[in-house]
Structure formats: structure tokens, C-alpha cells
Amino acid sequence: MKVVTLGKRTCASGSVTGVTNTAGAPVRIRTVSAAFTPGTRIRVAGVQGATNVNGVWWIRSRSGSGPYDLELSETANGPLLTGSGAAYTSGGQIFELARLSNDPKLFVHSLRVQVIAGEVGRKFVGTDQINTGSAARTGVLKEFWPNSTGGISDQWVVVDREGDNSIRPYDLLLDVWTPGEGVLVTGWQI
């Protein structure tokens, strides 16, 4: 077997600094983070007032040269999220939903995703339908518990039972609830 080390995978994050939430018009979320580009899946959490923007979205467009205004949709090519009319009052974080590999041509026989000792936040791996922003979580394949004290870390191992390299890490998304944290990802090919 050949080891394929994908290393530490993290998710970009940034603060929400404003929301334009005019009823019936496209919602615009403002952030100073340049990490978020059209086509990226994100989770928005903690927005007060304009709470309709909390959830999992696709970034459809980005305007401005910093700060940036993001327009969102529920699907990659779906209609833009429209405003509810509720005023933004404060708060909010944006978290990228990162792929376990950026290489769509990489296939492995087995895959291990492991929590990093000393980190304190929850992490999730799931399908393209992952949504950890509500009590009714969808698309989650594994929820990882933090290991803030060291020792044995939570991990998830997936093995292709057919005996070939058919697991594509690119198809799996990571959602991290604490900025800067991540998971260790290793694959094996036969």
C-alpha cells in the first residue's frame, strides 16, 4: 500500500460585519475576509437580527475590494437568498466547508480522519448535503469530539470493501466550529 498524506485540513473563517436584508431583494453579507469566493460552500452562524442568513449556503457572487459583499443561494446554481426585512444587529461568523482533498482525481482504498490533540472545537465530515447549523443535522457522516487534553483522539476510518481505490476525499466536506482548527487526513492506495 502507498500512503497518501493529505495533512491538516482546516476551514477558512471570518467575521460578519454587516448584512443587507431588504425584504424581497438579494441578501448581502459583508466580511473583511478575502478567503470566500464564488462557488464556495459556507456555514453562517451567530448573526443577530437578520437570523435568516444563519445556515449553510453557496457563495454565488462577491463584490467589493475589501470589505466584501457576498450573495448566497441554497444550491450551487439556485436562486439568490432573498431578504426577510429584519435588520442586522450584531455578530456572526462565516465558516468555509472545506473538501478533504482539493484534487478531484485522487482516489484511495482507505481514509483516516483524526482529531488533533489539544484542539477544543467540534468538527464534522459529511457529504455535499452537510448542514450542521441546525438541530436536525443532515449529510453528516461523522461528528468528532474535541480532545483538549491529549491522549487518544477521536478518528474515523473508511475502507473500500471492494478492494480497489474508490474513495474520493474530494467528495467529503469538513465543517469546523472553531476558527483555525482542523483534522489530520491520511489515505492509502493499493
Domain map of the chain by residue range? Answer: 2-9+99-189, 13-96
Instruction: For Cα atoms 50, 52, 55, give the angle at the middle one, nearest 5 degrees.
Output: 120
For the chain, the distance separating the N- and C-terminal CA atoms, rounded to the nearest angstrom, is 5
> Same topology for domains 2-9+99-189 and 13-96, yes or no?
no
What is the C-alpha separation between 81 and 60, in angstroms, rounded? Answer: 10
User: Which pLDDT belongs to residue 117?
Assistant: 86
What is the C-alpha separation between 135 and 17, in angstroms, rounded? Answer: 25
| Cβ within 8 Å of residue 152, ≥6 positions away | none
Q: Which helix (H) or strand (E) holds 114?
A: strand 110-115
The sheet with strand 173-176 has its strands ordered as 98-99, 173-176, 123-131, 138-144
Query: What are the residue ranges in the chain where pLDDT is below 70?
Result: 134, 151-152
Under DSSP, the state recorded for 63 is E
User: Which pLDDT belongs to residue 66?
Assistant: 86
Instruction: Give the CATH number of domain 13-96.
Output: 2.40.30.180
Residue 126 Cα to chain centre, angstroms: 9
Peptide bond into 79 cis (omega under 30): no
Instruction: Give the CATH number of domain 2-9+99-189.
Output: 2.60.120
Considering only CA atoms, give the Rg of the chain.
18
User: Which pLDDT belongs to residue 151?
Assistant: 67
Under DSSP, the state recorded for 116 is P
